[in-house]
């Protein structure tokens, strides 16, 4: 059983008999994750999932779920819309607004959050938007739901919440971003440290692992004229869509991969830059994620190729770097971050 508590709790109103599952009805799950505890007689094939984070998409598909590709938003209407709200407030509110909009007449929204991830706030938001039909608590989570909806929601509030999640200009208008993606409203200081020490002599074909909304790749292409192409690898479809916008001016010098880096890279590269993740989508610390990026970089670099990696100073990356790289140097440290340069060892 998954230790993801909201997955155990989201369907609690149905297993306790508080609510009836819509027999033969259409059901959607927004921000779906594999491992949802389903009521008796219900299978994953009965639910359409919406998810933009590729590792979750792979896990859902292995479990038999119907999932649209690259974070495509669902269309149509549903008799039940299940929601696992994201942590970021504007994104979560926009998700509630979408859930209400997806409800067919008489449909309802059921949502669940962990207490440490904004459950009370989420419940208050859904109540303000569409009213509450009930709530339950278990597993340090709160599951809450609307009464059957027949248009009785605050349409003006829904419109404001949807607008608050829309892409908008940041960094003085140079880039476009939106709530919920990593460092959505600013230049991340770790990435800025890497850019400040970016070698002007970088050349050839490179990759950006965990590219986010595209800041590092944009700076590489703008500063290093001998770089012929950079491939952006990003698992979060919402972020990758922003990167496409932010690097549109570079044309064929930028290519985009909705990909799980830990599964390997599509090609061999002269250099790689990376500000890898070190936590899961629910903020659980996972330094092995960054370590998997280093291993993928080692496999994806040509002999003598260079990795430029920026990370929190405390993260244990040196041992895994030493397994495949030589000339490992810390180029800079600041504000708790370290910038490491590593050359892929020859045979």
Q: How does the average pLDDT of the chain come out, rounded? A: 93
Tokens of 250: 């570079």
For residue range 275-285, list pLDDT tens digits in order.
998 655 444 55
| CA nearest to 96, candidates 37, 33, 47, 30 | 30
How many residues make up the chain in this entry?
Answer: 347
pLDDT of residue 1: 37
Q: For residue 54, how many C-alpha atoms fall within 13 Å in the half-sphere facing its CB?
A: 16
> Which of these ranges, 24-28, 210-214, 217-221, 241-245, has the smallest mean pLDDT?
24-28
Specify the pLDDT at position 2: 47
% of the chain beyond a pLDDT of 70: 95
pLDDT at 190 over 80: yes
What are the start-end ranges of the H helices in 227-274? Answer: 237-246
Kindly report, residue by residue over 143-182, the tens digit of the pLDDT.
999 999 998 899 999 999 999 999 999 999 999 999 999 9
- Confidence (pLDDT) at 69: 59
3-state secondary structure of 276: coil
Whether 16 and 8 have beta carbons less than 8 Å apart is answered as: no
Closest CA to 96 of 126, 134, 70: 126
Across-strand partners of 176? Answer: 169
Beta bridge partners of residue 49, listed in sequence order: 29, 67
Angle between helices 119-130 and 155-164 (to 10 degrees): 130
Report the DSSP beta bridge partners of residue 34. Answer: none
pTM for the full predicted model: 0.93
User: Cα(67)–Cα(58) distance, rounded to whole angstroms?
Assistant: 9
Q: Could you read off the pLDDT of 100-146 as tens digits, one per residue?
A: 999 999 999 999 999 999 999 999 999 999 999 999 999 999 999 99
Distant-in-sequence, close-in-space partners of 207: CB < 8 Å, separation ≥ 6:
230, 231, 232, 233, 265, 267, 269, 271, 272, 273, 297, 300
pLDDT higher than threshold 80 for residue 248: yes
Number of CB atoms found within 10 A of residue 283's CB? 10
Q: Within a 10 A sphere around the Cβ of 182, how many other Cβ atoms?
A: 15
The DSSP symbol for 116 reads G
Q: Encode pLDDT of 303-332 as tens digits.
A: 999 999 999 988 888 889 999 999 999 999
DSSP category for residue 184: T
- CA 107 – CA 150 distance, rounded (Å): 8
Question: What pLDDT was estimated at residue 261?
Answer: 96
Alpha helices in the chain (DSSP H): 5-9, 12-15, 54-62, 89-102, 119-130, 155-164, 189-196, 215-223, 237-246, 287-300, 318-324
In the chain, the percentage of residues whose pLDDT exceeds 90 is 85
Split at pLDDT 50, 70, 90, the class of 267 is confident
Q: What is the rounded (10 degree) CA torsion for 248, 89, 75, 177?
A: 0
* Token pair in block for residue 23: 């027999």
Question: Is residue 204 a contact partner of residue 227, using CB atoms and an 8 Å limit?
Answer: yes
Task: Report d(CA 231, CA 234) in Å as an integer.
Answer: 10
> What are the tens digits of pLDDT across the range 56-66?
999 999 999 98
pLDDT at 142: 98
Using DSSP's 3-state secondary structure scheme, residue 300 falls into helix
Strand partners, 30: 50, 83
**Nearest CA to 274 among 326, 226, 220?**
220
């Amino acid at each position: 059983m998954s230790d993801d508590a909201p997955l155990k709790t989201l369907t609690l109103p149905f297993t306790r008999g508080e609510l009836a599952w819509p027999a033969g009805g259409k059901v959607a799950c927004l921000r779906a994750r594999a491992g949802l505890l389903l009521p008796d007689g219900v299978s994953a094939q009965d639910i359409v999932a919406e998810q933009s984070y590729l590792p979750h998409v792979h896990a859902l598909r292995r479990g038999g779920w119907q999932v649209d590709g690259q974070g495509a938003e669902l269309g149509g209407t549903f008799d039940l819309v299940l929601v696992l709200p994201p942590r970021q407030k504007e994104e979560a509110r926009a998700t509630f607004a979408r859930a209400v909009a997806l409800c067919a007449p008489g449909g309802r929204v059921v949502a669940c959050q962990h207490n440490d991830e904004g459950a009370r706030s989420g419940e208050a938001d859904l109540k303000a938007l569409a009213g509450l039909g009930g709530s339950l608590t278990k597993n340090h989570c709160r599951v809450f739901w609307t009464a059957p909806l027949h248009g009785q929601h605050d349409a003006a509030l829904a419109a404001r919440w949807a607008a608050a999640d829309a892409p908008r200009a940041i960094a003085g208008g140079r880039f476009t971003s939106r709530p919920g993606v990593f460092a959505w409203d600013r230049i991340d200081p770790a990435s800025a440290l890497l850019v400040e020490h970016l070698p002007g002599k970088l050349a050839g074909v490179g990759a950006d692992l965990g590219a986010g909304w595209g800041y590092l790749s944009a700076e590489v292409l703008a500063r290093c004229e001998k770089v012929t192409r950079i491939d952006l690898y990003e698992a979060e479809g919402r972020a990758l869509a922003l990167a496409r916008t932010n690097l549109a001016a570079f044309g064929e010098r930028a290519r985009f991969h909705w990909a799980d880096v830990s599964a390997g890279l599509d090609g061999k590269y002269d250099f790689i830059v990376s500000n890898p993740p070190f936590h899961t989508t629910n903020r659980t610390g996972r330094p092995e994620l960054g370590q998997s990026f280093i291993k993928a970089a080692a496999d994806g670099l040509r002999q003598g190729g260079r990795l430029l990696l920026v990370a929190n100073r405390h993260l244990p990356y040196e041992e895994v770097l030493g397994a495949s790289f030589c000339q490992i140097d810390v180029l800079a440290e600041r504000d708790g971050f370290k910038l490491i340069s590593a050359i892929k060892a020859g045979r």
